[in-house]
Amino acid sequence: MTKTNTANTLAACQALDQEDPLRSLRDLFQVPESMIYLDGNSLGVLPKATPTRVAAAVTKEWGQDLIQSWNSAGWFQMPLQVGNKIARLIGAKDDEVVAADSTSINLYKVLSAALSISQADHPKKKIILSERTNFPTDLYIAEALCKERGFSLKLVEAEALQTALQQDVAVLMLTHVNYRTGAMLNMKAMTASAHRVGALTVWDLAHSAGAVPVDLNGSQADFAVGCGYKYLNGGPGAPAFVWVHPKHTDRFWQPLSGWWGHAAPFEFTPDYKPAAGISRYQCGTQPVLSLTALDTALDVFLEVEKLGGMQALRNKSLALTGLFMNLVQAELAGHGFGIATPHEENLRGSQVSLTRSEGAYAIVQALIARSVIGDFRAGDGKSQPDILRFGLTPLYTRFVDVWHAVQHLKEVMDSGEWQQPRFSHKNTVT
């Protein structure tokens, strides 16, 4: 354990905030004054511009113009419009991304397409390979498709992925930043390894889009999906997004062949003709009000581009997460905490995950009672420990927020406050 040094003092953190080239971005968000919000990797903070914009969509576009707004307000084009904004954050080009549906539904679409391509090109490949600690819904979707299509799902630890990439692997399905640990995979290297054995890649960007630089085209990835309500701040249940490498988009239908993915939806033909390109990855009518909120939230990133772009966000993210880990080591020695997040900067996303053999859930609840908002992720009682998870969103998180959060955690532990029975009561959502 290290000792507190001058770089980890409150005064030093205040100085870092003053010097932060991104400090003005916090003013674009409605961050509760009394709250230290470290859960932007679950639900992003409300942008100040969103209520006015959504209210206009409700009162003017819906309330007055009604169905005319499909044309006059561009409702029908919104999935591609929003997708083009997201594309700038993930190394994609215009008209390669569409905002639609949920991450799970989009994963079903792209994984189905990937399996169809693999079956056509390599019919003997029958394995979907993934990380054992991948987000469960990703594994559930893969499991269902395996049963439906005659494939098998193989799960290994992250360090065994390279070895497990054999000639029988059809698709490598990975999450770029692990939801539990915050560990980040090397997308370019893993994709190259998959391609060497003739496998396709499907990437989940739920915990990276908007927080860390992503280069889908530069990495030669095949498919990607991601979330609109975490680091992109689109609000609860915001539409997700889907990207498909242009060389794949027109090869196969995605299985949810709804009318919004039709080449000519308003001809109302009984037979399906898929639209060209990424538009075919839409299904039914998209949620216009939610798309409006996400569209507005993404305008924040236009301001980020003026201040150094995604690399500037990444630099601040690394500084925030590094500070958090240093403070935990300095201030919480002897309290039984481990740090699951890699210390190596190239190996971590924008969160810090702590482990503790006892009381992780109660400790998180004690912090929440102090308005320090993180979350808890349960382990399996074996190789996966319980996680106290803190998402550090560089758009609005300050260095002093990190300092105060760790001080609160220290007080919770020093006092034994977390042992109060009320903090052990499990809520529906943890």
Query: Residues with catalytic annotation?
Result: 135, 204, 229-230, 389
CA distances from 336 to 324, 383, 425 (A): 16, 17, 22
List the structure tokens of 149: 């299509």
List the structure tokens of 67: 């169905």
Task: Report yes or no: 371 and 401 within 8 Å, Cβ to Cβ.
Answer: no
Cα separation of 247 and 308, whole Å? Answer: 31
- In sequence order, the β-bridge partners of residue 128 are 153, 171
Give residues with Cβ within 8 angstroms of 262, minimum separation 6: 269, 272, 273, 274, 275
DSSP state of 352: E
DSSP-derived secondary structure for 227-285: -SSSTT---TT---EEEE-HHHHTTS--S---GGGBSSGGG--SS--BPSGGGGG--S-
Count Cβ atoms below 10 Å from residue 416 Cβ, excluding itself.
9
Task: Report yes or no: 103 and 89 within 8 Å, Cβ to Cβ.
Answer: no
Cα separation of 360 and 387, whole Å? Answer: 7
